[in-house]
Structure 1
Amino acid sequence: MALLVNTVFLFLVLSVCSIFCSDDNGTFFYFAYGSNLLDKRIKLNNPTAIFTGPAELKDYRLDFFNYIKYWEGAVATIVPHPGHVVWGALWTLDKKEMDRLDKQEGVDVGLYFALNKTVTMPGGISVEARTYQATKLPSFDDLPMQRQPSNTYLQVIFLGAVESKLPADYIGSLLTINPNGQFANETIRKSLGYPFY
């Protein structure tokens, strides 16, 4: 019964949002699977972000690539992989923040590129959402040290996954990722506040 009520509620929210969150209203859906899972993190640069709900991206896997100095470790990307699923948070943002989001994701320096993908929310509702993928995809192998995320980055993803109510088995799979033992620099930890600083 609770699933039915949640599905009906979600359908109503998305129906209303399809009217009021359309391009005419200047908003867009954003699918976050990395540090922007965490409300506190996404709102550092995108204060209009509104959590819409959890969503899954089919036929992709979560991976890590490219050491980023301020995180002191590798950052997340999605990689096409038939049969796999990446869960994330679906956010609604003002279009005026799209450039800031692109810059945060490193589009301007060629780290990621933006793409629109169909993501599915619990209850089977699918929407088109903007997301980001690394310009150079990692190979599918064990996670070598240079592709391991820092303890801080992994904690941000984990807490964001819990906060976004991602499925328990997916959250459990995040606990199997080996961190590199490093902590993000003081500036990012301070901006995130407790429990990171």
Structure 2
Amino acid sequence: MSTSTKINNKFLYFAYGSNLLAARIRISNPSAEFVDIGRLENYRLDFMGYSKVWDGSPATIISTENSHVWGAIWELSNEHLETLDRQEGVDKGIYLGLYVNVINETGTVYRCRCYQQLKNVDDHVPLTELPEDRRPSLTYLKTMVKGAQDCRLPANYIESLKKIKHNGHGSINIDEMNNAGLEACDITWK
């Protein structure tokens, strides 16, 4: 098993939420280059809080034995660490930046920057049964799924993302998101 970390004024970032989508991460971090996909062990995906930008709950990771979260590994210039932190609300005390080991499908371990909400829920509710106050918006969820599809995360993981309960809020702004292809996102919403 080999390990990859910082390389020449760059750092690795593990994205599991809206930054799975290249068009989204590059809005504030144009240096982002896709490296690989990987799995963060002993964490689960969850949603909590409220984002005005997304009109719903954003994603977070919660330490949970025997669980994992799939995501994209991006390489960014060190100059974008500050913009990424700001995008994630580190300065506002919303998310905490941490470094985690992420494993790809062949066993390579990447040391990546990642973000976790500072306030996390204690109860583990299946994502298909999220209470109303913890549901992501339709737009946020479509952004995640489109990014997961583009990055080629495992098909069963993408299917599990499609089944997450959303709050029905948000609409795709075709003018702003057309390049991201969200209007054509292959999802049947119930």
2:23 to 40, 48, 68: 40
Q: How many residues align?
A: 177
Work out the CA distance in 2 between the residues paired with 1:112 and 1:190.
29
Q: What residue in structure 2 maps to residue 51 of structure 1? A: 34
- Deviation per CA, 1:67-105, whole angstroms, max 9, x where unpaired? 111101100000011111100000000000000000000
Identity percentage over the alignment?
41
Q: What residue in structure 1 maps to residue 52 of structure 2? A: 69
Q: What residue in structure 2 maps to residue 83 of structure 1? A: 66
Q: What residue in structure 1 maps to residue 162 of structure 2? A: 175
3-state SS of 2:164 partner: coil
Q: CA deviation at 1:193?
A: 2.8
Distance 1:196 1:160, change over 3 A: closer
1:106 to 89, 93, 98: 89
Q: What residue in structure 2 maps to residue 140 of structure 1? A: 124
Are the counterparts in 2 of residues 71 and 183 from structure 1 also a CA contact under 8 Å? yes
The 4+ residue runs of structure 1 with deviation greater than 6 A are none
User: RMSD value over aligned CA atoms?
Assistant: 1.9
The structure with more radius of gyration: 1
Normalising by structure 2, report the TM-score: 0.87
Greater helix share, structure number: 1
The answer for unaligned runs of 5 or more in structure 1 is: 1-10
Q: What residue in structure 2 maps to residue 158 of structure 1? A: 145
Normalising by structure 1, report the TM-score: 0.84
Q: What residue in structure 2 maps to residue 128 of structure 1? A: 111
Work out the CA distance in 2 between the residues paired with 1:184 and 1:113.
29
